[in-house]
A and B are shown apart, each in its own frame.
Chain A
Amino acid sequence: MWQEFKQSIVVSIWFVFLTFPLMVVRVNTMEDLVEWRWMNIAWVAIASFLLSYLWRYMLARKQVRKKVEEEGGDTRSKLQIMLENESLRFKAMGVLLVAALVYPQIFDTYQTTIMISALIYVVLGLGLNINVGLAGMLDLGYVAFFGIGAYTFGILNHHFDVGFWMMLPVGGMVGCLFGVILGFPILRLRGDYLAIVTLGFGMILKVVLENWGSLTFGPSGIANIDKPGLFGLDLSLANHTIYIYYIMIALVVFTIIVTNRLKNSRVGRAWMALREDEVACIAMGIDMARTKLSAYALGAFWAGMIGVVFASKTTFINPASFTFMESAIILSIVVLGGMGSILGVILGAFILILLPEYMRAFSEYRMLIFGASMTLMMIFRPQGLISGLRQTYLYKGAKEEIDNG
């Protein structure tokens, strides 16, 4: 601590020295005067000291955590320990669900709309979490499946008037199908190569959407897509928003249940094994091609499905909605929240989607803040906000253990 304090003092003095000519001295050419703004130097000193101290403190903490881990100690945070307690987790989820259900009754249409887009990203994050977090396949073109789902609905709705409810599962299936088709060429790739090829998929989709005018209506997009129907009732705009909000809540719950079940199953364990060590994984009798394809296709399923909701919510889609930026945001949600952790991804989606909405004042600096916070995150907490919960199982020998503790 003392060490860090001293170093921070040095840094702050150094900064004062460096910025002195800029911050303090001002030559007023009109009156041939030199102004000395001594107050500024105090600000520089304090700010640089605090920043430097915080930086060092965080690094030191990370170091300590690493050391404890190497010695086999417990490095879980209090939050993490609480989350690993199953009954507590269920209670927390119950509270959250109730809060989510009353939300649109309390807040106005605008707030509800924002919340809908956050929920859309929750599902997207959970879907991508299967690829990236569980199976360890870095996918930079995830938005392709989102776009495919949205356009499948847009096109079929435009030409054949197919409704939302019909298309919701179909969108998922189509996403899944494309996941399998695009999955084959990437079976042998991993790491950076995989990232580059999937990045290409995203780019290709956008180019196709922009240029295949006869099918996709090109850059002008598809307008007047139907909103979800409710037994043929005519809903007002506000009510429709609330309706879509509830649909999204249901889909989020559905996604959480399904991805959680997948994660804690034979299939999910195979994904994780693949992420941990590919060679050991196949040597243990796991079919790599099948495992990778299933992860890729199931990740794509959610994107395809939620693409339908997106198209239906905005009633208008064009290629500009499906750029690399979207892939990057979804990936950031997974990385920020914590790879492989369902709760982490939900938290990540809320932070990354809601914060920019409520901080419109800083909207110019949005990407700057975004980039800086991701970088800081990687330096200080690479495992994300909430790292994957450890799954424990009940076996005969463990029953007493659990009763005691």
Chain B
Amino acid sequence: MAENKHKLLEVKGLTMDFGGLRAVDSVSLDVHEGEIAALIGPNGAGKTTFFNCVTGIYNPTRGDILLHPKEQKTRRLNGLKPNKVTEMGLARTFQNIRLFQGMTVLENVMIGRHCRTKAGIFHAILRGKTFREEEQQIVESSYQLLEKVGLGDSANEFAKNLPYGAQRRLEIARAMATDPLLLLLDEPAAGMNPQETSALDQLIVKISTEEKIAILLIEHDMKLVMNISDPVYVMEYGKKIAEGSPQQIKDNPKVIEAYLGEEADA
């Protein structure tokens, strides 16, 4: 976490109440350019709710979500609709896979290009030159993304027919198609076997280094993130209980307790 790095996402005192339940309790968190930050914590800690607030699915009760795109003015994301947030440069995947099951793999990624392209109804009907060029460009760039996540061969399959691990990678490709500054991944390794998980780790590192996309990663399992992410934020019962380098987190007594407590419960 070098100090000279550009701060991309800044979340200050984010709080989310569901009726009487405070699912997220004044959590602050920064993601810098080029980082793979991780948000970990036991089940029900409020990690997904945090994501939903940042990406506009929920409107947070309190707090500020600020995006600082490089060389542009800062934008406050609170209260924006999810599609606006995506346009600003935040893209996400879902913990419980939410692909467009009845569409092909390629079409799923093409949907991601939607907010970066323009063709409207009349273009679609008239099929002029600009329309055809844009359409072809959507296809090509989507296909390249599929190759990047290793799904080039399945481009014309229905998304629902993909194996589980591939569906998770497709979600990542779809999110990347929106040209994000920051990619938010919600438990991307959930349900994967060890080989798939290590391939996924490599993919995430590749996205970070080659595509220059900052990443905020939710993981339930602490061990997985330790290799690839820095810094690590830990949540429990809606509160942020620790932050720091993987080593600092490993040695933090509060974190150990949170995870031990969970194991004792299970």
Minimum distance in angstroms from A176 CB to a CB of chain B: 11
A39 is an interface residue with CB less than 8 A from chain B: no
Q: Determine whether the beta carbon of A284 is less than 8 Å from that of B155.
A: no
Q: Determine whether the beta carbon of A285 is less than 8 Å from that of B87.
A: yes
Q: Determine whether the beta carbon of A285 is less than 8 Å from that of B178.
A: yes
For the complex of A and B, 4 pairs with smallest distance between CB atoms: A285-B115, A265-B124, A285-B86, A276-B100
Contacts of A275 in B (CB 8 A): 102
A282 is an interface residue with CB less than 8 A from chain B: yes
* 8 Å CB contact of B114 from A286, A294, A393, A394: A286
* 8 Å CB contact of B174 from A258, A265, A284: A284
Q: Determine whether the beta carbon of A269 is less than 8 Å from that of B99.
A: no
Q: Determine whether the beta carbon of B124 is less than 8 Å from that of A276.
A: no
Q: Determine whether the beta carbon of A396 is less than 8 Å from that of B143.
A: yes
Residues of B101-115 at the interface with A, using a CB-CB cut-off of 8 Å, are: 101-104, 106-107, 110-112, 114-115
Which residues of B are in contact with A by a Cβ distance under 8 Å?
A: 55, 57, 81-83, 86-87, 91-92, 94, 98-104, 106-107, 110-112, 114-117, 119-121, 123-125, 127, 131, 134-135, 138-140, 142-143, 147, 152, 155-158, 161, 163, 174-175, 178
A268, A298, A394, A395 pick with most chain B CB within 10 angstroms: A395
Q: Determine whether the beta carbon of B103 is less than 8 Å from that of A284.
A: no
Q: Determine whether the beta carbon of B102 is less than 8 Å from that of A272.
A: yes
Give B179's nearest chain A residue, CB to CB. A285
A325 is an interface residue with CB less than 8 A from chain B: no
* 8 Å CB contact of A285 from B83, B101, B163: B83
Q: Determine whether the beta carbon of B158 is less than 8 Å from that of A390.
A: yes
Contacts of A392 in B (CB 8 A): 104, 156
1/0 per residue, CB under 8 A from B, across A236-274: the answer is 000000000000000000000010011001111110110
Contacts of B86 in A (CB 8 A): 283-285
Minimum distance in angstroms from A251 CB to a CB of chain B: 15
Q: Determine whether the beta carbon of A277 is less than 8 Å from that of B98.
A: yes
1/0 per residue, CB under 8 A from B, across A267-310: the answer is 11110110111011111111110000010001000000000000
Q: Determine whether the beta carbon of A285 is less than 8 Å from that of B121.
A: no
For the A-B complex with A280-B99, A284-B91 known, give 6 more contacts whose Cβ atoms are closer than 8 Å: A269-B103, A269-B114, A285-B83, A286-B114, A390-B156, A395-B140
Question: Please, could you name 10 A-B residue pairs with CB atoms under 8 Å apart, sorted by A?
Answer: A266-B124, A267-B119, A267-B121, A267-B124, A269-B107, A273-B114, A276-B102, A281-B111, A284-B91, A395-B143
A185 is an interface residue with CB less than 8 A from chain B: no
- In the assembled complex, the Cα of A366 lies from the Cα of B82 at a distance in Å of 48
- In the assembled complex, the Cα of A275 lies from the Cα of B123 at a distance in Å of 22
Report if A273-B100 is in contact (Cβ < 8 Å); known contacts: A283-B55, A287-B83, A390-B156. yes
A391 is an interface residue with CB less than 8 A from chain B: yes
* 8 Å CB contact of A265 from B83, B135, B147: B135
Contacts of B112 in A (CB 8 A): 284-285
Question: Which secondary structure dominates chain A's binding surface?
Answer: helix
Q: Determine whether the beta carbon of B140 is less than 8 Å from that of A258.
A: no
Minimum distance in angstroms from B121 CB to a CB of chain A: 6
Contacts of A287 in B (CB 8 A): 81, 83
Contacts of B131 in A (CB 8 A): 265
Minimum distance in angstroms from A133 CB to a CB of chain B: 11
Minimum distance in angstroms from B148 CB to a CB of chain A: 12
Contacts of B114 in A (CB 8 A): 266, 269-270, 273, 284-286
- In the assembled complex, the Cα of A294 lies from the Cα of B140 at a distance in Å of 27
- In the assembled complex, the Cα of A275 lies from the Cα of B114 at a distance in Å of 16
- In the assembled complex, the Cα of A185 lies from the Cα of B138 at a distance in Å of 33
Contacts of A396 in B (CB 8 A): 140, 143
Minimum distance in angstroms from A283 CB to a CB of chain B: 5
A106 is an interface residue with CB less than 8 A from chain B: no
A398 is an interface residue with CB less than 8 A from chain B: yes
A21 is an interface residue with CB less than 8 A from chain B: no
Minimum distance in angstroms from B102 CB to a CB of chain A: 6
Q: Determine whether the beta carbon of A398 is less than 8 Å from that of B124.
A: no
A191 is an interface residue with CB less than 8 A from chain B: no
Q: Determine whether the beta carbon of A283 is less than 8 Å from that of B57.
A: yes
Residues of A156-186 at the interface with B, using a CB-CB cut-off of 8 Å, are: none
Give A270's nearest chain B residue, CB to CB. B114
A232 is an interface residue with CB less than 8 A from chain B: no
Report if A276-B103 is in contact (Cβ < 8 Å); known contacts: A282-B83, A394-B139. yes
Contacts of A283 in B (CB 8 A): 55, 57, 82-83, 86, 91-92, 94, 98
Q: Determine whether the beta carbon of A280 is less than 8 Å from that of B100.
A: yes
